[in-house]
Amino acid sequence: MRPALVALLFGATCIALSPIFVRLSEVGPTATAFWRVALAVPVLWPFFRTPLKGPKLLFLAAGVAFAGDLAFWHSSIQLTSVANSTLLANLASIFVTLAAWLLWRERPRPLFLLALALALGGVAMLVHTSLAFSSTALLGDALGVVTAMFYAGYILAVKGLRDRGAATLQVMAVTSTLTALILLPVALASGEQMLPSSAYGWWILTGLALISHAAGQGLIAYALAHLPAPFSSVGLLLQPVVAACFAWVLLSEPLAALQIAGGLVVLAAIWLARRASSRST
């Protein structure tokens, strides 16, 4: 279990660096999202060694959901604090259970209802601190919540593919390719700067693609295959905490007392939601 635990913690740390890379990027948020997946695709495809399994429409749904996830999250990161955008994006587990409730009539456990109440309270605290952060922070928080909705859709699509025998790295390679194809015209239509203006800018995009996307997601995928699901879920809660610490150290982004309290409430809500989900399966 020890190598898997190291992979989980290191993978979560790699992903936690992604909002830092996005903030430092010299291109627009959607363009950054495009390069994030486009530069990772050549690294992922060599691992594609098994026949494609799963409905092609489900792969497309995963690609569309992941494109929405990255586009809205990167915009959120530019508008609000890294801590808020990352915490709110991780509310995806709440939306996964809500989707199962609304679409498939899977009645949630009482523990999830407690998690939902905590999540709403934590979000209210985070939003309150955003009012003093900047004039755009409230919009950034809203985009963070939208990010969580798209990420929930991605999780559900990937679960459907895994249930039908698709390998994790296969899913990553195909969905990353589809995501890049979707984001490219969106970025071009937005009028954002598409190309970095310096070698430093290319290094930032390369780090985002190889460290946060390819390495981070790959290590998490390996860890999830070798660790108990409840333990892995708790370990992944390190990501927003580490991201906030990186932002504090590298971007001099302060953390208000109410924001810290709200973040702890949101983390508790995510943990309870995942615990309720693992008990119901």
* DSSP conformation class of 225: T
CB atoms < 10 A from the CB of 263, how many? 22
Q: What is the pLDDT of residue 234?
A: 59
* N- to C-terminal Cα separation, the chain: 23
Write out pLDDT tens, residues 44-79: 887 666 677 777 888 999 999 999 999 999 999 999
Q: What is the pLDDT of residue 185?
A: 96
CA angle 223, 226, 227 (to 5 degrees): 80
Of the segments 168-172, 201-205, 228-232, which one has the largest average pLDDT value?
201-205
Query: Which residue stretches of 164-237 are H helix?
Result: 168-190, 199-207, 216-224, 229-236
Q: How far apart are CA 270 and CA 250, in angstroms?
A: 26
Closest CA to 81 of 275, 251, 278, 261: 251
Q: Which two tokens stand for residue 214?
A: 């390819």
Contact 208, 36 (CB under 8 A): yes
If you average pLDDT over residues 234-263, what whole number do you get?
80
Separation of CA 168 from chain center: 16
Residue with tokens 């992903």: 15
Arithmetic mean of pLDDT over the chain = 83
User: Could you tell me which residue, 250 or 34, shows the higher pLDDT?
Assistant: 34
Contact 56, 172 (CB under 8 A): no
> Of 35-39, 183-187, 256-260, which range is least confident?
256-260
User: Could you tell me which residue, 215 or 256, shows the higher pLDDT?
Assistant: 215
If you average pLDDT over residues 196-213, what whole number do you get?
95
User: Could you tell me which residue, 206 or 243, shows the higher pLDDT?
Assistant: 206
Based on C-alpha coordinates, what's the Rg of the chain?
18
Q: How far apart are CA 232 and CA 230, in angstroms?
A: 5
CB atoms < 10 A from the CB of 185, how many? 10
Contact 240, 267 (CB under 8 A): yes
User: Could you tell me which residue, 194 or 93, shows the higher pLDDT?
Assistant: 194
Q: How far apart are CA 105 and CA 256, in angstroms?
A: 40
User: Could you tell me which residue, 181 or 221, shows the higher pLDDT?
Assistant: 181
Amino acid symbol at 175: T
Say if residue 191's pLDDT is above 60: yes
Write out pLDDT tens, residues 89-102: 888 777 877 777 67
Closest CA to 265 of 76, 93, 97, 116: 116
User: Could you tell me which residue, 105 or 9, shows the higher pLDDT?
Assistant: 9
Three-state DSSP state, 237: coil
Q: How far apart are CA 281 and CA 278, in angstroms?
A: 5
Q: What is the pLDDT of residue 281?
A: 47
Question: With bands split at pLDDT 50, 70 and 90, how would you rate the model's confidence at 265?
Answer: confident
If you average pLDDT over residues 125-132, what whole number do you get?
72
CA angle 164, 280, 216 (to 5 degrees): 55
Q: What is the pLDDT of residue 35?
A: 97
**What percent of the chain is predicted at pLDDT more than 70?**
85
> Of 74-83, 98-107, 110-119, which range is least confident?
98-107
> Of 1-10, 90-99, 212-221, 268-277, which range is least confident?
268-277
